[in-house]
Structure 1
């Protein structure tokens, strides 16, 4: 996979792209991580990339020319891909975009080339949205200084799903949200710490019982912390029956506290 990030602050990505999982993935040749300073594609002597909005208002708006120029430069470098009809996803990081999720990460991990656009200032010239990008993504209902941090989040989430990136391929499969639920609790040695013991099921060596315990814990944790996820999760009739009873018991406890 090739990933290109259009940004005014490429130095922000140096540590992230060179460390931990992303750094190892790049060293293995599984992913190519690149940054492009779209200020280099400004068409004026002052290298400005923003201007005042038509119609007035506060803040400055990113101009279309430098961002189009930066993306088209990358596309020219990858002409052999576009010639085959495989065009990259061009992703705009912005608060108005679709909320990023594990499902979207899995979808993007199937692509061979991703381009991220990180904005600053008040916003983007609307022609960037209309005629350049294929996707708009947000990492949550809040506003950050720019799109760099959200882009890092999305890139990390996508790259770890690529084959060969994680040391244990089961890690990505059992992560929270991978099956629509929150992940079950984890324990490691020692079996007892300050009087707190590891659950007996995990010490039994019985794989079926361990799997059953983990599934139940995943359901309980999701019910407690993110109950809305259960509406879309794939559940067995037995699990749905258990959840119905668990909700009744939870409602009764809440009533007793009043």
Structure 2
């Protein structure tokens, strides 16, 4: 907003559907004769970015001849962008013949939406009195409540103990899958090679991906129904 006459106060308002209104009153400078007396910049924000998740932007307008430097992000064409959420911003404004002005902008808080990791567990493989489970995860942070995580496997799980595997993509953003223990690892039996993925929502139902490698049949048991396919 430019070319407002000196001595004229303005009220800037924003509304939603004409009823929910936010207003700010801007008081005119008394004089603009001394260019060093008044700020050489006007700032607004911070506002969370809609294109770069987890960052915020600050809009600015400079007086003619002024330049801007920022401690984080990029200042271009009236917008400081790419400042990480939680990081405060220092803005330095320079104008020939005037001392530099430094403005500190409080950090914007722009939460990153949770995107749950992809986690797929394979069938257990017996190793004497223990068993192991291979897994695929889209994130590096994987833990298990039993055994040890070694590469893309959980090894040394005691027979008789179910294993719960957790993949973590951030605070509170986790995917958990479980595998039941073999009943015994002394029976001469090669278990089917079955891997099962995590559930994904489809409206008020959900889907689960599975793969059966080699012989065997797949059955699905629900809380109230039992289906074979």
TM-score range, shorter chain: under 0.3
Larger radius of gyration: 2
- TM-score by structure 1 length? 0.24
Comparing both structures, which one devotes a greater share of its residues to helix? Answer: 1
- TM-score by structure 2 length? 0.25
